[in-house]
Amino acid sequence: MDLEKTLSRQEMLSISKPARYIGREWNISLKKKEDVEISVALAFPDLYEIGMSHLGLKILYYILNSLPGVRAERAFAPWPDMGKMMKEKNIPLYSLENKIPLRNFDAVGISLQHELNYTNVLYLLDLAGIPLRSEERGEEFPLILGGGPCAFNPEPVSPFFDVFLLGEGEEAIVEIVEILRVMKGEKRSDVLSELAKIEGCYVPLLYSVSYHPDGKIKNISPSRVVRKRWVKNLDGAPYPQKIIVPYLNIVHDRIPLEIARGCTRGCRFCQAGMIYRPHRERSPEKVIELAEKLVKSTGYEEVSLLSLSSTDYSAIEYLVRDLSFRLKESKVNVSLPSLRMDAFSVEVAQSLQEVRRSGLTFAPEAGSERLRRVINKGLTDEDIFQTVEKTFSSGWREVKLYFMIGLPGEREEDIRDIANLVKEILGRGKKKGVHLGISAFIPKSHTPFQWTKQEEIKSLEEKMAILHSLLRPLGRRVRYNWSDFEVNLVEGALSRGDRRISSVIERVYRKGGVMDNWREFFSLRRWQEGFEEEGLDLNFYTHRERDREEIFPWEHLSPGVSKDFLWKEYQLSQEEKITPPCQEGKNCYNCGVC
């Protein structure tokens, strides 16, 4: 498709950020048509700036384009102004590399990173001219594949997908593509049956769900459990040595370099800590090798060392010090976006300042030690104060702290203790500042809190009002922002929803629900109407406790962590007891992963 002939220069300039749609960036992969047997579109159901920041997309793009006879190209959800123009001009959603309509690919892989992107999945399919539901697609349409953290409970969007991959895709994507290659031209149903045999692949059409009169799940059939895929050796896993450099600023406009995967701290609210177990590390030598190659191939001036908890990396001080020294001459900065307050060191902080100072962000999560025991955070107030003092004495003038409200077992004094912590921090750092990020707790699947209820909007607003009154007198040294509780409500319903919600999602999309993760487009009323019109109760999915024996919508999908282990952790939370981090060879709690 020749985009320049389809849209005039004036039309392209009339839309916001036209660079989102032109492709041609540095380091893209282009293959000749005659060299391609299987084509895969990697579609991200959000803006270019968001999708281009996602590490998983970069890894899969690199792996697929490294395979002989395989072509992978990218596509992103257009901003509504471009989406409207595409519909008016009858322009199908296309890939950026060769401007190929998505419906002409053999498969379309869609990354599910956030529940509020679910309507955007339908937006992508609709713009591509692909029927929304799997059962409506004929042999001429591509297979629709889903992956990412939301794939661990994909039931609300399961009718829209042909296959989901649970877990990590480095190895599984090669197996999937090989089946597509070998079975190209065969019946769609036969291909899906073969894909279902791959470990980690879930084909929703092969499962059926029945319900009790009260709306709870009665049975999921067959009883076969799909277990996640995970990579055992990160050093041996493929990792891109060059990445695409965009023309416009993206959210994370730097080199993302994963140093470790998984976390066994066991925070009870944290889905990532459960679904990405066990903890694995990439060796310092491999990290340094990749960093140097990526700096040369991209020209970026920052390398971000990624993991769920970077300071838990066993050789973090050596790695940061050595890497900072090697990159200093090139004026390339090293940053750590994920820091624990009880694992931070002055040495690491000083190493991070070698080129330029990045911001430091920590997550105490709760205001009181009691509530931090409930969520298994394991931080004392003194841990927090010591770390902040070290940070300020190392030259930082402000720290950012993340807290949650609405946590299980939370009391009014826990909210007041957030303000008390901030006051104490300001007292220990004269002329220093604190930036607070405050979000509402949302129960997620496969966590110890999957049984608990979500707090209602009115109660959250009351708690936020208390915090306002306590923080306001602290003046300009404190900045704070908080999440949208209406958005949080819908996210909560989708995160623990069943496949009946798919009809709600489709209704919301038909009513104009696009880019719901952007506040200017979100409408709670639209979602409430969707639930009402489908005869479903929004509160059923959010504001009720689950009992021990209730069958969850994700019962047949396993991250490896057992339900018994999660229930035990839930009970320990109610007893305000800490479970220390598990470590290889000791402190094993039989979670089921290893």
DSSP secondary structure of 290-355 = HHHHHHHHH--SEEEEESSSGGGSTTHHHHHHHHHHHHHTTT-EEE-S-B-TTS--HHHHHHHTSS
Give the CA distances from residue 255 to residues 242, 287, 304, 332, 336, in Å, rounded to whole numbers and listed in that order: 9, 12, 6, 10, 12
Question: CA–CA separation, 522 vs 573, rounded Å?
Answer: 34
Tens digit of each residue's pLDDT (9 = 90 or more) over 155-183: 999 999 999 999 999 999 999 999 999 99
- Exposure of 118 by Cβ count < 10 A (0-12 exposed, 13-18 middle, 19+ buried)? buried
Tens digit of each residue's pLDDT (9 = 90 or more) over 302-313: 999 999 988 889
Question: CA–CA separation, 1 vs 462, rounded Å?
Answer: 54
DSSP label at residue 132: S
CATH superfamily of 3-227: Cobalamin-binding domain (3.40.50.280)
- For the ranges 274-283, 322-331, 443-452, the lowest mean pLDDT is seen at 322-331
pLDDT at 131 > cutoff 90: yes
Tens digit of each residue's pLDDT (9 = 90 or more) over 564-592: 999 999 999 999 999 998 876 577 888 88
DSSP secondary structure of 13-55 = HHSS-GGGGT---BT-----GGG-SEEEEEEESS-HHHHTT-H
Hey, which bits of 441-592 come out as E strands? 478-482, 557-558
**Which pLDDT band holds residue 66 (cuts at 50, 70, 90)?**
very high
Q: If you average pLDDT over residues 248-273, what whole number do you get?
A: 94
CA angle 222, 224, 228 (to 5 degrees): 135
Q: If you average pLDDT over residues 36-44, what whole number do you get?
A: 97
- For the ranges 194-198, 296-300, 344-348, 355-359, the lowest mean pLDDT is seen at 355-359
Determine the pLDDT at residue 349.
Answer: 66
Return the domain boundaries, the chain: 3-227
Question: CA–CA separation, 389 vs 396, rounded Å?
Answer: 10
pLDDT at 353 > cutoff 90: no
Question: CA–CA separation, 193 vs 174, rounded Å?
Answer: 17
**Which pTM value belongs to this model?**
0.95
**Which pLDDT band holds residue 340 (cuts at 50, 70, 90)?**
confident
**Which pLDDT band holds residue 5 (cuts at 50, 70, 90)?**
low
Determine the pLDDT at residue 4.
Answer: 59
Q: What percent of the chain has pLDDT over 70?
A: 96
Tens digit of each residue's pLDDT (9 = 90 or more) over 176-223: 999 999 999 999 999 999 999 999 999 999 999 999 999 999 999 999
pLDDT at 357 > cutoff 80: no
